[in-house]
Amino acid sequence: MTGTFSQHLAVIRNVLKRMFAARLGGLLNILVIGIALSLPTGLYVLLKNAEGAIAQFSGAPQISIFLDMSAGHDATDKLKLLLEENKAIAGIEFVAREQALESLQQNSGLSDLVAGLKQNPLPDAFVIQPKNSDGQSLQTLRDQLVQLPGVERVQLDSDWAYKLAAILKFGRTGVLILAMLLSLALIAITFNTIRLQILTQREEIIVAKLIGATNGFIRRPFLYFGILQGLLGGMMAWLITSASVFFFNTRLSELAQLYGSDFALTPLDSLDGLSLLVFSLYLGGLGAWLSVSRHLSEVEPH
C-alpha cells in the first residue's frame, strides 16, 4: 500500500516538474483555464447575490384582494369563509374601507386632500399570507382568487420582485449555457495539450513499451497532468472570483452608504468553491483521458 502511494506521489512530482518546466507556458495555461472558469463562476456569484437581495427587500409575499364597491356584508362574510377554506392560504386579515381611508389619511401626507373627499373611494379588502412563496404557487393562487365572487381586483404586493426573479431565472439559464460552452473549450485545451505532450515524448513512450511498460503505466502521468492542470485552473478561477468580489465591494460600499444600506456581495462559500474545484478537476481529467485514448494507441514500436 505504501509502495503504491509512493509511486503515485512520484508521478505527481514529475508531472508538476514537467508542467512548470517552462514556467511562463505552464502559468499561462492555468491562467487561461482560470479566466475561462471565472466567467460563469462570477456571473453565478452575481445572480446568487441578486436573489439574496430580492429576498431581503421584498419580504414575505402578501396578496391584497379588493372587493367590489357594491359588495355588502353578506358577500364579504361569504368571501371570508371561502378564503378560510383555501389550504394555500396561511393567514387572512380584513381591512375595512373606513380603516383603509384612515390609514391613508395618517400615513400618506395627504390628510387635507383626503379630508376634502365627499365619499370614501376605497373598497373593503383582504390581505392574505400565502403558505408557499414560490412564483408559480403565487400565480396559481392569484388566478384562483380573481374568480371568487365579489372580488374586483387581486394584487400581489411583491409582484415586481417575482418578475425580477423570473429574469434572474433566465439569467441562470444563460450562465449554464456559457458554462457548458467554456467547459467544452477547456476540454479541447487539455486534449490538445496532452496530444502535444504525447508527440513530444513519442520516443520515450516507444522505449517504455519495448521494455514491457503497460498502457496503464504510460497513461498515468498524462491523466495526472490533465487532472492537476484542471485543479490548478479551478483554484485560479476561485482566486480571480474572490478578488473581483473584494474589489467590487470596495466600490459598492460607497454606493450603499448613500442609500443607507450595508449591502455587500458575498463571495463563493466553501461548498460552491469545492464544487468548482471538483468540476475543473473533472474537466481536466476528461480532456486528458480523451486525448490519451485517441493518441496513445498511435504510438507503437515498429
First to last CA, the chain: 36
Contact assessment for residue 101 and residue 114, using Cβ atoms and an 8 Å cutoff = yes
234 Cβ contact list (under 8 Å, min separation 6): 33, 34, 37, 276, 277, 279, 280, 281
β-sheet bridge partners, residue 95: 125
Give per-residue burial for 134-153: e unless 16+ CB within 10 Å, then b.
ebeebeebbeebeebebbee
61-157: CATH topology: Alpha-Beta Plaits (3.30.70)
Nearest to 19, CA basis, from 288, 241, 290: 288
Chain centroid offset of residue 93 CA: 36
Per DSSP, the three-state class of 152 is strand
pTM, two decimal places: 0.66
The domain ranges of the chain are: 2-57+163-298, 61-157
Task: Output the tens digit of pLDDT for each of the chain's 302 residues.
Answer: 566 667 667 767 777 777 766 667 778 888 888 998 999 998 899 888 877 776 666 556 778 888 877 777 788 888 888 888 888 888 888 887 677 666 656 655 555 555 556 666 677 788 888 877 666 777 788 888 888 888 888 887 666 666 777 777 888 888 889 889 989 988 988 888 888 888 887 887 778 777 877 777 788 888 888 888 899 999 999 999 999 988 888 877 777 676 666 777 888 888 999 999 999 999 999 998 998 888 777 666 65
